[in-house]
Amino acid sequence: MLQKFIEKKYKASTLPEVMIALAITSFCTTLAVIIYLNIQQSTLPFIKMKSNELAVKYLNETVIKKDFIDNSYSEEEFTIKKVIVRNTAFSDCVDITITVFNINKKKLSQLQTTLYAD
């Protein structure tokens, strides 16, 4: 009985086959990571551009409507915060700051201007 156990042939992969499979898997994984990072980097400028566009929009609305009151807005996945402060050098002017944040409260863009407030 022991003789039959010793003579039984087992099927397995050879070391070169395992090394080739490992190399192919490593190559595919590296390629996938590179593609993922490229996609991440290409969406970041779009998000920054969209946040800057929103900041300009809310700054223009504030100037046109002469709405000099602090406020917060939500649009899409962005939070826009408007802060109005009286200018220290010129008492008849206000400093308007528009800041755009993402969902995680990370600042994406900020616009600031000084405006004559009659």
pLDDT, tens only, 66-117: 888 999 999 888 999 999 999 888 889 999 999 999 988 999 999 999 998 8
User: Do 100 and 107 form a contact (C-beta atoms < 8 A)?
Assistant: yes
Which DSSP category does 84 fall into?
Answer: E
Structure tokens at 9: 């042939």
List the domain boundaries for the chain.
14-116
Q: What is the largest CA-CA distance in the chain?
A: 106
What confidence tens digit (pLDDT) does each residue in 1-48 have?
Answer: 556 666 667 677 889 999 999 999 999 999 999 999 888 777 778 888
**54 and 44 Cβ atoms separated by less than 8 Å:** no
Q: Tokens 């602090």 — which residue? A: 70
